[in-house]
Structure 1
Amino acid sequence: MKSWIKFIKDYRSYLKIERGLSDNSVVSYIFDVERLVKFLEENSIDVSPLKITEDEIQQFVYSVAGELNPRSKARLISGLKSFFNYLMFEDYRKETPMELIEVPKIGRKLPDTLSTAEIDALIAAVKTTGNQDEEDKIGIRNKTMLEVLYSCGLRVSELTTLKLSDLFFDDGFIRITGKGNKQRFVPIGKKTQQDIADYVQNGRFPAIKNHEDTLFLNRRGRGLTRAMIFTIIKRLADDIGLKKKISPHTFRHSFATHLLENGADLRSIQMMLGHESITTTEIYMHIDRKFLNHILNTYHPRR
């Protein structure tokens, strides 16, 4: 409906410029609002975003309840709350119609993790020929990508956008561009530095124009896609008979879990992962209860 177009457009700019969200996040937030607008159109409810009421929002939520699991429904409601909070922030509305809309309770989904032995097995499963041919280059690249994913705790999007100019080996750090284009520096170990140096020397395909600075390239000299990295990991998991359902993000979860198990503090892990809130990092506290028992029995004065 026409009355929504301007507000959605302004909201998109607000999300991108003022909140600094990534393109994927902006698309997700806008989709929530556009889904509401579509419902209003289909049901001939002619109401502007400034006049819509809680009852009309509730009708919409009920209409999609059967299509969504609790987690998706909670995310949708959260997206709508963000939109109407924006309208209040800009003084378009005095109150939000989302005030009494209940968010379904969802259990916290604990991340899957790999043991160090499983990570070693996955990396060892990458085939290299030693012949410096195309297949050998692909093998060297894939080994290095997995090492970087695990050793630095990167998101898959952070891996695909990593650049040669982001490598500061003399200082022992790499520069990561994360969600909302926020940058952070992550420490990188000597072994992973050497893996990257070997890859650049022996495994990196010649880059085409506009990809000269991209670290990980496909055989055509372009940056890799997220889907390609998912595929590489899935094939390796199949090759070693790993029954866990894993993804590139599993390496990030394992990075954080293993740091915690070996005594790292949550604040340091938070900074390396690039979490805005430490509550996001606290999910890793569940991981190894035996480890937590060990901590208690070792350090508590009443042990």
Structure 2
Amino acid sequence: MKSNKGAFRDYLQLEKKYSVHTVNAYLNDISFFEVFNQIHFNQEGIEGVNYSQIRSWIVSLVDEGVSNVSVNRKMASLKSFYKFLLKTKQIEVSPMLKHRALKTPKIVQIPFSEKELTDLMLEVEAPVGFEEIRDKLIVELFYTTGMRRAELINLMMFNVDLSLGTVKVLGKRNKERIVPVLPIVAEQIKLYLRERLVIEGIVNDDYFFISKKGLKLSESFVYRLINSYFSRVSEKVKKSPHVLRHTFATHLLNNGADLNSVKELLGHSSLASTQVYTHNSLAELKKVYAGAHPRSK
């Protein structure tokens, strides 16, 4: 008979469609709690624990200096595990029923300005060779499609359709969405594909973006690339693919796009996820309002 953890893994992968990375993170959190529970309460398994035991783990984690954000993530893993046990009728009440997440500081992502994007595009206006052309295209796709880093890295050759001017993106939980590509970016894609043809010994041929050695790009490479490029034009502390995704959403909203359209482009399942991007667009609206309303004079 399969263990609860094994069945839980299958549930996360097959039913919830979570990534391997997320599944492993959930299972690691559960394993750490199992060890803690065995050491402090001499109890095998965590199916029959009460909330006071979970609370003891929270106190222990905080005393060790674990951040509230990390503690909340571990509690989310436990909550999901006990929800699964409820679903499979192995417990009648979740010990996480009355749990409340620890307070965390609200982090506001600061997007790049339109001027910073313009300055960067001017600086890399005429890329030469495979790597420069590829790198500029990566920046452009992040900024003009709002893709996540993992989505860009895992973009497949057959999901880029220049005849329709679209790319098919595989998002979280294997949810697909179609994103339009601007004509100017389509031209850059054509240029990149011509350069890509001369790369010999391609190992990962199905992947759209590859290294000069023909390998699939890594997440760390793409992060360093964006950080390096934007260090030329921006003094912001955070310069990452996620900031570019935030910039994409903010600039669309600043220029009149409606929230539902931005939600679809980003691949969010609910408007609540998209609304975090409205902070800076509201600031822009306040400026326009203050300058245009007769009572502001």
Residues 207, 34 of structure 1: alpha-carbon distance in 2 compared, 3 angstrom cutoff: farther
1:40 pairs with 2:33: no
Quick one: distance in 1 between partners of 2:106 and 2:78?
A: 21
Aligned to 1:151: 144
- For 2:83, the aligned partner's letter is N
TM-score, scaled relative to structure 2:
0.90
Deviation at 1:51, TM superposition (A): 1.3
Aligned to 1:56: 53
1:103 pairs with 2:101: yes
Quick one: distance in 2 between partners of 1:155 and 1:144?
A: 15
Question: How do residues 159-170 of structure 1 correspond to structure 2 at under 5 angstroms?
Answer: 159-170=152-163
1:257 pairs with 2:270: no
- Deviations 1:79-98 (CA, angstroms, capped at 9, x unpaired): 21111111111100000111
Deviation at 1:203, TM superposition (A): 5.1
- For 2:56, the aligned partner's letter is Q
Aligned to 1:197: 190
Quick one: distance in 1 between partners of 2:272 and 2:190?
A: 36
- Deviations 1:118-140 (CA, angstroms, capped at 9, x unpaired): 1233344449674xxxxx21111
Aligned to 1:133: none
Residues 244, 38 of structure 1: alpha-carbon distance in 2 compared, 3 angstrom cutoff: same
Quick one: distance in 2 between partners of 1:74 and 1:45?
A: 25
More divergent stretch after superposition (115-124 vs 220-229): 115-124
Question: How do residues 1-303 of structure 1 correspond to structure 2 at under 5 angstroms?
Answer: 6-43=3-40, 45-66=42-63, 67-126=65-124, 130=128, 136-202=129-195, 206=199, 208=201, 211-240=204-233, 242-293=235-286
Aligned length: 295
Quick one: distance in 2 between partners of 1:73 and 1:9?
A: 23
- For 1:11, the aligned partner's letter is F
Does the 8 Å CA contact 2:68/2:104 hold for their aligned counterparts? Answer: yes
SS in 1 for 2:53: helix
Quick one: distance in 2 between partners of 1:127 and 1:35?
A: 51
Residues 112, 208 of structure 1: alpha-carbon distance in 2 compared, 3 angstrom cutoff: farther
Deviation at 1:55, TM superposition (A): 1.6
- For 2:103, the aligned partner's letter is K
Structure 1 residue ranges without an equivalent (≥5):
131-135
Does the 8 Å CA contact 1:125/1:240 hold for their aligned counterparts? Answer: no
Taking only aligned residues, the RMSD between alpha carbons, in angstroms, comes to 2.6
Quick one: distance in 2 between partners of 1:297 and 1:209?
A: 56
Structure 2 residue ranges without an equivalent (≥5):
none
